[in-house]
């Protein structure tokens, strides 16, 4: 049995020990709460960063690698459909296009068209294999007009095509970006087509159209085009 003064001291010591234990417990709880809070904030930051990276990746893919179907389903690139599917025509220069077979050889021009497949754009020619037409028929250089593709998102890589006909810039194929002509190519005053390649990298992701132009009526006042190919596909 303790004396009253000793008992009072023992009670005080016990109370102090209890408070210390409570302080330690609260401190541990505070540290644990801060750890959980920091972990939640870190997870939120990482999730936001992940979403941002996914959004940037999606934009990059949409810009750099447009799907082939977005172009090929809208207009013919090789004219093997036997018509001008998807192209908008003005004037009369392309009324009898596309041309079937090597019509320059059929009319004994001495310059093979060297087209790909069966059909191609031959501005001097007038033979599509239709009733009343004969191999070697021509319309000549007098008609003028244009063929313009629908708008499309310009892919990365390059665009190549076969071209022949007149060498004047009045007979040309061109790439339009926002209505402005940025690339142009003409023939070499021969019916025989050769392949030309355009670098599309400066215009990737922009909206473009392809236009085939015949603004001439004199000698070599026509253009030949065939087999447009995008390297990305």
Higher pLDDT, 146 or 30: 146
Q: Are residues 82 and 53 in the same domain?
A: no
Q: Are residues 97 and 185 in the same domain?
A: yes
Q: Are residues 162 and 73 in the same domain?
A: yes
pLDDT tens for residues 105-147? Answer: 999 999 999 999 999 999 999 999 999 999 999 999 999 999 9
Q: Are residues 51 and 81 in the same domain?
A: no
Buried (b) or exposed (e) across 91-109, using 16+ Cβ within 10 A? eebbebbbbbbbbbbbbeb
Average pLDDT for 59-68: 52
* Closest to 80 measured CA to CA, from 41, 116, 110: 116
CA 13, chain centre distance (Å): 81
Q: Are residues 135 and 118 in the same domain?
A: yes
Q: Are residues 35 and 147 in the same domain?
A: no
Main-chain phi, psi angles of 59, to 5 degrees: -65, -40
CATH code, 92:
2.60.120
Q: Are residues 16 and 108 in the same domain?
A: no
pLDDT tens for residues 200-218? Answer: 999 999 999 999 999 999 9
What sign has the CA pseudo-torsion 80, 85, 86, 90?
positive
Length of the chain: 233
Give the span between the Cα atoms of 155 and 210, in whole angstroms: 13
pLDDT the model gives residue 10: 59
In the beta sheet, which residues pair with residue 97? none
Q: Are residues 100 and 50 in the same domain?
A: no
Q: Is 67's pLDDT higher than 50?
A: no
State which of 64, 79, 101 marks the end of a domain. Answer: 64
Q: Are residues 57 and 114 in the same domain?
A: no
pLDDT tens for residues 158-175? Answer: 999 999 999 999 999 999
Q: Which of 53-67, 114-128, 187-201 has the lowest mean pLDDT?
A: 53-67
Q: Are residues 131 and 97 in the same domain?
A: yes
Q: Are residues 122 and 214 in the same domain?
A: yes
* Closest to 212 measured CA to CA, from 174, 166, 170, 167: 174
State which of 43, 64, 85 marks the end of a domain. Answer: 64
Contact 77, 228 (CB under 8 A): yes
Give the span between the Cα atoms of 107 and 102, in whole angstroms: 9
Q: Is 224's pLDDT higher than 50?
A: yes
CB-side neighbour CA atoms (13 Å) of 32: 6
Q: Are residues 147 and 182 in the same domain?
A: yes
Number of domains making up the chain: 2
Q: Which domain holds residue 38?
A: 1-64
Q: What is the percentage of the chain residues whose pLDDT exceeds 70? A: 86
State which of 64, 83, 98 marks the end of a domain. Answer: 64
Which distant-in-sequence residues (6+ apart) come within 8 Å of 201 by Cβ? 156, 157
């Amino acid at each position: 049995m303790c004396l009253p003064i000793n008992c009072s001291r023992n009670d005080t010591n016990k109370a102090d020990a209890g408070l210390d234990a409570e302080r330690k417990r609260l401190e541990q709880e505070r540290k644990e709460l801060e750890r959980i809070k920091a972990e939640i904030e870190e997870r939120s930051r990482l999730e936001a960063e992940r979403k941002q990276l996914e959004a940037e990746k999606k934009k990059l893919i949409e810009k750099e690698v447009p799907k082939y179907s977005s172009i090929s389903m809208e207009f013919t690139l090789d004219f093997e459909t036997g018509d001008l599917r998807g192209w908008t025509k003005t004037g009369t220069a392309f009324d009898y296009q596309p041309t079937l077979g090597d019509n320059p050889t059929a009319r004994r021009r001495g310059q093979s068209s060297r087209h790909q497949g069966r059909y191609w754009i031959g501005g001097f020619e007038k033979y599509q294999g239709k009733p009343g037409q004969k191999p070697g028929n021509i319309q000549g250089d007098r008609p003028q007009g244009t063929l313009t593709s629908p708008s499309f998102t310009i892919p990365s890589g390059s665009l190549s095509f076969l071209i022949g006909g007149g060498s004047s810039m009045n007979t040309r194929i061109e790439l339009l970006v926002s209505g402005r002509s940025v690339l142009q190519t003409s023939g070499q005053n021969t019916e025989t087509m050769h392949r030309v390649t355009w670098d599309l990298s400066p215009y990737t992701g922009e909206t473009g159209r392809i236009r085939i132009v015949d603004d001439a009526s004199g000698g070599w006042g026509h253009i030949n085009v065939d087999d447009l190919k995008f390297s990305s596909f």
